Chains A and B, each alone.
Chain A
């Protein structure tokens, strides 16, 4: 059991890779491959946005803008390469990914340098404007195909390879962002989130670390965009409007602003969205947004309603996890510094404070203690 627990990440990754290999040999229907690609992109976007929203504590609404840059730069490069080489291969995809990520990262640096001096709502507005500007520039430039959109070199022949690349990029994203957050750089970033004034006084270069978080997040958004450019036949600039940014933000917030939560909620929400889109045809298509919104509201109510508190505590995944791995209240298994780095625990502790009941201890010792104190006075 201990070995399993220690290497859990590798076991999960290995088993997923194994399943994918078998499925790749057997052959998946196109709809499921498409869904998996969409999920991979959503996970990359959510985890990278979580770097800014969850760990840096700034509200960014321009994530789709960075994705747009990655998609167009990567897509255009791949289109140029494939027309000159006469076909796409894996090298084209990798080059496109690198270029898409780099371009988005540079844009993130340029935008972040002035914008991160702003706080809260102002930063949200600037990033929102950035997303719209990028969308409009791309939409109106003939180099990128203009209104009709950029025709991307597709991978229809072998979607499975594309999915594998997507899977690897997801792993890379989680690996890099987790490692940053679990290092001294990540501590500085979370310190800025908690108290910027104190962080400055403690010798943290606030602008540098804010920029670091912002650029890393932009690079991975660019990667997701480049990946996206291979999954669809025609890149439309209208896809990357602010609604898309907010959709990613919804995923991050529903995931509780943690890495693990972002992955889970990205998977579920993308699957839900796609299933609703395919099942509800014709005149019911309008109902899609309605059902989607309703589910979101229900989830938020379930997470926060005081009336459901007991139910939540009794049936939650965390308890199940602890039961399986039996480290509930066992001091020997609590690691030093417990590394609860990915939790934003203010709300939870407030919950505990509010629900604390005064436990009256009726044992003999206690009353004797009170008697003694009374006697002394």
Chain B
């Protein structure tokens, strides 16, 4: 059934959606490498010639004024949009123009600018949804319906793992609450926890500190550092808070009007006269 489904889907992709991008893997030392990535909506070039090179275990910032195309780049990297030009590679594997769930399986997970949790489900179930696609928690529909031993084994293991992840985020005591009843800061944390549960190689955070007070922001900085160290994770984040960015990021890329304005080491890039001009004007 699943094979038939895939065949139909690939047929639709090729013949109907005319998705002609040919995937070719490359040799790359970087976790994420994009080559001339860009998208245009009709005449509007929302992102153009974006070249990111993110090393392993790096916290990489993507900044820019409003409407610069930061979230568009995120949407390209997670398959929400199909790029009209260029390609991107995760550990040298071409992931361009794959559907969203496949990209997630390959190892890119994200959070959203405006929080998108599964509101009517408990906290632990939110995380367990994220765990479901990993091969060690594989369990067919048949096994679930007839409650074969594998079902119970998998459920128990998933619950255990979800608890471990929640413990890192200080959410273990809230695991039976509904996600919509959590305070704002914890909802943000839960979203990151859910993204981590999918076992990614690269984590994309879209404005993780938006709407947080200074204490919560500081807490978040520590959390992100813990994630990088504990999970051996590479992180790409969008942020407007410059103090947050300069305190956390190893390298940044500055976007403006869909093009790259400056890139490289955080301090040098932020002191680039073009960047200052773009932010302050003049």
Binding site for B on A (CB under 8 A): 113, 176, 179-180, 183-188, 190-191, 193-195, 197-208, 211-212, 334, 336-338, 340, 344-346, 349
Contacts and interface: CB of A to CB of B under 8 A. Distances in A.
B148 to A, nearest CB: 11
Contacts of A113: 8
A19 to B, nearest CB: 27
Interface stretch (B32-40, B99-107, B250-258): B99-107
Interface stretch (B54-62, B85-93, B174-182, B240-248): B174-182
Contacts, number: 114
Given A203-B133, A208-B5, A336-B176, A184 B144 contact: yes
A274 B205 CA distance: 58
B129 to A, nearest CB: 5
Interface string B25-62: 00000000000000000000000000000000000000
A201 B120 contact: no
Given A176-B145, A212-B141, A337-B159, A200 B122 contact: no
Contacts of B78: 201
Contacts of B147: 179
A300 to B, nearest CB: 21
- Across chains A and B, which 10 residue pairs bring their CB atoms closest together, nearest first? A183-B144, A203-B104, A198-B116, A194-B118, A203-B133, A200-B100, A191-B129, A184-B132, A205-B101, A191-B118
B237 to A, nearest CB: 16
B144 A203 contact: no
Contacts of A207: 9
A204 B129 contact: yes
A190 B176 contact: no
Contacts of B130: 202-203
A202 B194 contact: yes
A345 B5 CA distance: 34
16 contacts: A179-B146, A179-B147, A184-B158, A185-B141, A188-B132, A194-B119, A195-B119, A200-B100, A202-B109, A202-B194, A208-B5, A211-B5, A212-B141, A336-B159, A338-B122, A345-B178
Contact of B125 (A212, A337, A349): A337
Interface residues of B, number: 46
Given A184-B144, A337-B176, A201 B110 contact: yes
Main secondary structure of the interface of A (DSSP, over half): helix
A190 B118 contact: yes
A181 B128 CA distance: 14
Nearest to A202: B130
B128 A187 contact: yes
B266 interface: no
B77 to A, nearest CB: 11
Contact of A337 (B2, B9, B122): B122
Given A184-B155, A185-B144, A200-B101, A346 B117 contact: no
Nearest to A177: B145
Given A183-B145, A194-B120, A349-B180, 12 more contacts: A113-B8, A188-B129, A197-B116, A202-B104, A202-B194, A202-B195, A205-B101, A336-B176, A337-B124, A337-B159, A340-B122, A346-B120
A207 B100 CA distance: 12
A206 B79 CA distance: 14
B154 interface: yes
A152 B147 CA distance: 37
A147 B168 CA distance: 67
A66 B158 CA distance: 36
Contacts of B176: 334, 336-338
